C-alpha cells in the first residue's frame, strides 16, 4: 500500500513538472517568435539599467527609479 502511494505521488509530481515545462516552453516560444511584441514595453539591458518604451520614446532608466 505504502509503495503504491509513493508511486502515485511520484507520478503526480512528474505530471506537474511536465505541465510547468509545457507552459514554460509555450512562453519561451512566444518570446522567440515575437520578440518585438514580447519586449515592446520593457527591455532589460543590464543588471542596473532598464529601458522603457513610452509614446514613441525609449527611456534609459536606473532600476532604482521605479
Partner 1 sequence: MIFKEIKPELLNNDTPVLIIGSGPAGISIALDLEKKNISSTIIEAGKEFYSEESQSQYEGKIIGDSLEGLSQSRLRQFGGTSAIWGGWCRPFESYDFFKWPISKKNIDPYLEKACSILEIPNKFRTSNLNQEINQAEYQYSLIQFGYHYKEFLKKSDKIKIFLNSQLSHFESENKQITHAVIKNNNKTIKIKSKNFVLATGGIENSRLLIWSRIKNRNLLDDNLPIGKYWMHHPFVYGGKGIVYKSKLNNKFKKKFLNYEGPIHFTQSENFLKEKKILSCSMHIIPTEDKKYENAKQIIREIACFAPKLGNKLRMFLQKKELYCGNIKMHLEENYDSNNSVTLDKKKDKNGIPMPMLNYQQSKTTILSCKKALISFANFCVDKNVGRIAISDNIINENKIKNIAQGGYHHSGGTIMGDNKNNSVVDNNLKVHNTNNLYVLGSSTFTTVGYVNPTLSIIQFSLRLSNYLKEKLV
Q: Grid coordinates standing for 27?
A: 512562453
Site for partner 1 in 37-56 (CB under 8 A): 48-49, 52-56
Instruction: Give me the residue label for grid cell 539599467.
Output: 49
Mark residues 4-43: x for contact with partner 1 by CB under 8 A, - for none: ----------------------------------------
Is 58 an interacting residue with respect to partner 1 (CB under 8 A)?
A: yes
Instruction: Give me the residue label for grid cell 508511486.
Output: 7
Sequence-ordered alpha helix ranges (H) in the chain: 2-33, 35-38
Residues that bind partner 1 (CB under 8 A): 48-49, 52-62, 64-66
Amino acid at each position: 500500500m505504502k509503495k503504491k502511494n509513493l508511486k502515485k505521488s511520484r507520478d503526480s509530481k512528474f505530471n506537474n513538472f511536465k505541465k510547468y515545462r509545457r507552459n514554460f516552453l509555450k512562453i519561451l516560444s512566444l518570446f522567440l517568435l515575437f520578440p518585438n511584441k514580447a519586449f515592446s514595453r520593457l527591455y532589460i539591458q543590464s543588471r542596473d539599467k532598464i529601458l522603457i518604451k513610452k509614446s514613441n520614446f525609449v527611456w534609459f532608466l536606473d532600476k532604482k527609479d521605479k
